[in-house]
Amino acid sequence: MNSLDAIDSEIVRVLQAEEMPNAELARRLGLSAPATLRRVQRLRRDGIITGVRASVNPEALGYSLHAFVLVSLARLSSDADERFRTGVRRMPYVLSAYAVSGQSDVLVELVGTNTRHLQQSLTDLSRLGAERANTMLALEEFKASAPVPPTSG
């Protein structure tokens, strides 16, 4: 685990809340632009900052279904696992996927335009090696992905 000083923690906090030019970030932190840039570059190099993305409303793009699918794989081997992982990474409607502990092997988060679209995604998961899929439809999001709180050492 990387230990962050107070300035690095503030950089992480601010950049998770909003994207901004380096000069603006430097002004907010009370640092010079070159010093701020060096810190941000180090945080990227250390793997703490991994990128900056736009937040998008799936419904505004026509995705009315948001589902979470607990998947049990038919075969548990490194080849079958890698085939499943590779296939899931190529599915454009999968937002995230996690290997999990418990009765299932994988948790998949996906979006769909309608129930036929969701059914096709479930069929695709089956073709990749899913033996069982327990699908849960999200009815309401009341807390979106939150920023990761930085730790300080």
List of residues 6+ apart from 108 with CB closer than 8 A: 68, 69, 71, 88, 94, 96, 97, 125
- With bands split at pLDDT 50, 70 and 90, how would you rate the model's confidence at 1? low
- pTM, whole model, 2 decimals? 0.78
Which of helix, strand or coil describes residue 96? Answer: strand
Whether the CB-CB separation of 100 and 107 falls below 8 Å is answered with yes
What value does the mean pLDDT take over residues 9-14?
91
Which is more confident, 139 or 76? Answer: 139
20 strand-pairing partners: none
Percentage, residues of the chain above pLDDT 90: 75
- With bands split at pLDDT 50, 70 and 90, how would you rate the model's confidence at 153? low
For the chain, the average pLDDT equals 92
For residue 24, what are the CA distances in angstroms to 31, 33, 39, 48, 116?
10, 8, 14, 20, 46
Domain residue limits, the chain: 6-45, 58-137
- What's the CA gap between 41 and 9, in Å, rounded? 14
CATH code linked to domain 58-137:
3.30.70.920
pLDDT at 76 over 90: no
| Tokens (6 digits) for 8 | 């690095």
What value does the mean pLDDT take over residues 82-109?
96
pLDDT at 3 over 80: no
